[in-house]
Structure 1
Amino acid sequence: MIMSCIVIDDEPHAIDELCDLIAQVPHLNLLSTFSDARQAIAYLQETGHADIIFSDISMAVLNGIDAADILNNYCHFLVYVTGYREYAPEAFGVKADGYLLKPVSYMSFRQQVEDLISKFQDILKLQRDENQFLFIKGGQKSSYIKIRYSDIVYIEAMLNYIMIHTTTGHEITYIGLKAMEDKLQLMDVFFRVNKSIIISLHYLDRVDGNIARLANGKSYQIGEKYKSVFLEFLKKHTLKS
């Protein structure tokens, strides 16, 4: 696993020392270095993200503590690298993920990185798990039903609730189809084909004109409102000669 990082420090020799440590530790990719936090923020706003930000605290233009609220929006982990012990309470008060004292030893730096990699792996595992299933409210009070996304064949709107048809049966929950569509929008296997139906491409057998035919024998007309997006997706995944 490779984690990207940037360094922020207003002392050139401190940047050089940290860059040397980064080069010696596996799994780190140094994106850039900055002599003040404002430069780093401008870079992050343009590029979008760094997994780890290593930042000094005591800097003339904008100190690391004051920049934390913005920096935390663009990284998974914010680690302060400073020569002052007394900043520790403030650092963890702004949700810092690490605190290294200068001069930073190879072992302390490596241990910090390994801890962050372990945390990052836990985050990724949780995200994968969250993308495998959802819970819906059942008919009884405090009743919840687990449904795997991979088991959903299609979802049908029925007045003020939806019926989720799966490979083993169906479940009903009181939520609108639009709310369900929003929940599924990050997953590219679910498509709304008309005002009442969302289908899973895992169980789409074929498309004949404006008709989507599922593997279970069900067929649904593709509405004009949804046709262009659906057909564009199919074209991108069609084998070309």
Structure 2
Amino acid sequence: MELKCIIIDDEPHAISELKELTHCLSSLHVIKTFMDTSEAIDFLQNHGPVDFVFSDINMPGLNGIDAALVLRKYCHFLIFVSAHSEFALDAYGVSASAYLLKPVSQGNFVQKVDELIAKLPSVGQAQQKEDDVLFIKGNSKNNFIKVNYNDIIYIEGLLNYVIIYTERDKLITYMGLTEILQKLGRTDLFFRINKSMIISTNHIRQVNGNMVYLSNNAPLGIGRSYRSAFQEYILKRTLNNL
């Protein structure tokens, strides 16, 4: 398992020392180093998230504490590495995963990082995502159509069959809506919004009142008895406007 990391520090020797420490753990791979926090944020926004961000706090321009709100969006773990112990409380106040005091010992580094790696999703969970597929019977006896979970936009229940709307097709299979929801088994990815509709949360484009708009522009109504659970789902994932 390769874990991607970036290092942010305005002192070249500190970057070199920290990079050397990452070699103690074969799973860590430093993909980029930065002497400017804003440049690191630009990189993450353009290239996507990493597993670890190791960042100094006392930086020119945008300091580590002020940058934490953005950095946390683009990593599993944010570890502050600082020569100043007085910043520790501020660091944990912005949900830092760990705080390492310079000079960082090899033992302390390995212990902290190992503790965090243990919190990552297990290989079994990662494998589950790879296996997120369904096979729908085709027109002939031995014909089966593979459907990736990520391709499913929503599922509509009609009498004794359902229609699966994907990015490319409409597929029909003869089972009930409750049965297919159990078959999917991913309550984090599929959500029932009324008696006859299951939507993929990956394809939600907008929620407006009691209507959900999906990536194929389909407007679907949220049933009265399903609104409370759906609103709770949305609120848990809503960023407050500052």
| TM-score bracket for the superposition, by shorter chain length | 0.5 to 0.7
* Cα separation, 2, equivalents of 1:21 and 1:65: 23
2:73 corresponding residue in structure 1:
73
Q: CA 1:124 to 1:102, structure 2 compared with 1: closer, same or farther past 3 Å?
A: farther
Contact 1:4 1:50 in 2 (8 A): yes
1:16 corresponding residue in structure 2:
16
Letter in 2 for 1:101: L
2:83 corresponding residue in structure 1:
83
* Cα separation, 1, equivalents of 2:95 and 2:127: 21
Q: CA 1:123 to 1:78, structure 2 compared with 1: closer, same or farther past 3 Å?
A: farther
* Cα separation, 2, equivalents of 1:183 and 1:118: 28
Letter in 1 for 2:198: M
* Cα separation, 1, equivalents of 2:10 and 2:91: 18
Contact 1:163 1:170 in 2 (8 A): no
* Cα separation, 2, equivalents of 1:184 and 1:47: 20
Report matched runs for 1:1-241 at 5 Å.
Answer: 1-121=1-121, 125=125, 128=128, 156-158=156-158, 171=178, 175=194, 177=196, 179-183=197-201
Q: Any idea what the Cα deviations from partners look like across 1:64-113, whole Å, max 9, x if unmatched?
A: 00000111111111000001111111101101001000000011111111
Shift of 1:125: 3.3
Q: Secondary structure at the match of 2:62?
A: coil
Shift of 1:157: 2.6
Contact 2:77 2:97 in 1 (8 A): yes
* Cα separation, 2, equivalents of 1:72 and 1:39: 15
Shift of 1:156: 4.9
Q: Secondary structure at the match of 1:54?
A: strand
Shift of 1:21: 0.6
Letter in 1 for 2:72: N
Q: Secondary structure at the match of 2:66?
A: coil
Contact 2:157 2:176 in 1 (8 A): no
Shift of 1:23: 1.8
Number of residue pairs aligned between Structure 1 and Structure 2: 164
* Cα separation, 1, equivalents of 2:122 and 2:48: 22
Contact 2:54 2:79 in 1 (8 A): yes
Name the % identity: 43
Shift of 1:34: 0.3
Q: Any idea what the Cα deviations from partners look like across 1:26-79, whole Å, max 9, x if unmatched?
A: 210100100010110111111111110000001112110000011111111100
Contact 1:58 1:82 in 2 (8 A): yes
Which structure: larger Rg? 1
Shift of 1:128: 4.3
Shift of 1:185: 5.7
Q: CA 1:21 to 1:37, structure 2 compared with 1: closer, same or farther past 3 Å?
A: same
Shift of 1:115: 1.0
* Cα separation, 1, equivalents of 2:199 and 2:36: 43
Contact 2:193 2:199 in 1 (8 A): no
Contact 1:163 1:171 in 2 (8 A): no
Shift of 1:180: 1.2
